[in-house]
Amino acid sequence: MGYLLELELAVSPTDSNKILGRHWRSKHEVFERIKKEIFLKTRGKTPALPLEKFQLSFTRYSKKTLDYDNFVASLKAYIDGLVLAGVIKDDSWEYVKQINTDQKISNEMLLKLRVEEA
């Protein structure tokens, strides 16, 4: 079995429509906060070299579900954080083999993220 990383993040992806309409500085702050959280949560858990073939799984827990396109768009900062942390080499189609998404109704706001070497 290859590299496997599972994270639980207290911050759940926000509706991308709410972020995209903001001033660029506000959007930047949200994206940077998420990338920093990913970077800190992966310390000591990164592979020896960033993964070149991998699959990602995201499960969002929240009181309501998002439209599919909003949910996927809201994951950009999380994926960029994995690149910044050195977990994955890049987020281009050359490296990403599969992305799975799921949403569950819950009173708890949470994102479960899984990175698996393909």
The residue ranking higher by pLDDT, 13 or 91, is 91
Q: How far apart are CA 111 and CA 52, in angstroms?
A: 23
Does the structure show a pLDDT above 90 at 49?
Answer: yes
> pLDDT of 18-43, one tens digit each?
555 656 677 778 888 889 999 999 99
The residue ranking higher by pLDDT, 25 or 71, is 71
Q: How far apart are CA 55 and CA 97, in angstroms?
A: 5
Please, what is the average pLDDT of the chain?
Answer: 89
Q: How far apart are CA 96 and CA 98, in angstroms?
A: 6
State the pLDDT at residue 96. 96
Does the structure show a pLDDT above 90 at 7?
Answer: yes
Q: How far apart are CA 30 and CA 67, in angstroms?
A: 20
List domains and CATH numbers for the chain.
Answer: 4-43+50-117 (3.30.1330.70)
CA angle 74, 77, 78 (to 5 degrees): 90
- Work out the pLDDT band at 73, boundaries 50, 70, 90: confident
